[in-house]
Structures are given as C-alpha cells and as structure tokens.
C-alpha cells in the first residue's frame, strides 16, 4: 500500500479496486435504500472523486442495478458484495463501501447522513471505550 491509497475487494476476491487519497468524506448512511441493499442498519461510505477510484481486477465480474432514478449500485456478480455507489445527485463522485477496503482510509467516519431514516432499534452510537 502507498500512503496515498487504499486497496479493497469483494468477498470472493474476484473484484479488486484501489482508491487514491484524499477522500472527500467518510460517513454512515442510514437511508432506507442503503439499508435494504446491504441488509444492515446503516452503510459506511468513503466518498472520492470518481477519477480517484479504479477497478484493477474483475471489471467483468461487476454488475449494477439502478436502485432509484439516476442511482447505480455496483456489486460483484459472483459473490454479491456491494462495492460502489454513484448518483446523479453527486456527479463526479464514487462512494466506496468502507467495509470492502483491505486497508485503512485517510480519515475515520465523521458523521451520519439521512439520520431521519434510521431504524428505531439502533442504539445511539458512541465512541469505543479507551
């Protein structure tokens, strides 16, 4: 790993990517679409200018679906791992699922988006004990 990038992959390893720093943000998304797509209470995304994210292996294994008008979610067609998100709402940005990185990115999560859609059973998130 270079100090200026982080690599990652899908669960089966067919799709591998690299993202070059700096990222624009890292945040937890609580929108219903992300929750349903990932089967989780929220998804943590790292946002990058699209030119800084490259699929370096397995481009042919990538599949996509339009989860809402103007929004594409890319995933591994072999194992199903959700990897990338792009939307006309944020042109020129690619959001990468933080859990798919093999290495740390350049910043920790700093916020929650679409909190008004969060699941009611999620307890408040606190910093881990020191």
Q: CATH no. for residue 65?
A: 2.170.150.70
Q: Is 130 domain-assigned?
A: no
pLDDT at 19: 98
Find the mean pLDDT for residues 105-115.
94
State the residue range of the domain holding 74.
5-115
Tell whether the model's pLDDT for residue 118 goes beyond 60: yes
Q: Is 128 domain-assigned?
A: no
Domains contained in the chain, number: 1
Report the chain's mean pLDDT, rounded to a whole number.
93
- The answer to whether the Cα torsion of 87, 89, 93, 96 is positive or negative is negative
Q: Is 123 domain-assigned?
A: no
This prediction has a pTM of 0.91
Q: How far apart are CA 9 and CA 15, in angstroms?
A: 5
Q: Is 122 domain-assigned?
A: no
**For the chain, how many helices (H) and strands (E)?**
1, 10
Q: Is 126 domain-assigned?
A: no
Cis peptide preceding 22, ω within 30 of 0: yes
Q: Is 86 domain-assigned?
A: yes
Determine which helix (DSSP H) or strand (DSSP E) holds 113, and give its type and residue range.
strand 112-113
- CB-CB neighbours of 10 under 10 Å: 23
């Amino acid at each position: 790993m270079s100090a200026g990038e982080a690599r990652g992959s899908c669960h089966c390893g067919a799709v591998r990517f690299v993202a070059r720093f700096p990222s624009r943000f890292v945040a937890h998304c609580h929108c219903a679409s992300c929750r349903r797509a990932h089967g989780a209470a929220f998804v943590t995304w790292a946002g990058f200018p699209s030119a800084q994210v490259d699929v370096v292996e397995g481009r042919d294994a990538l599949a996509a679906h339009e989860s809402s008008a103007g929004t594409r979610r890319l995933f591994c067609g072999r194992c199903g791992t959700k990897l990338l998100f792009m939307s006309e709402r944020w042109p020129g940005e690619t959001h990468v699922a933080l859990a798919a990185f093999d290495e740390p990115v350049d910043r920790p999560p700093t916020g929650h988006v679409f909190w008004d859609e969060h699941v009611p059973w999620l307890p408040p998130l606190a910093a881990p004990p020191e």
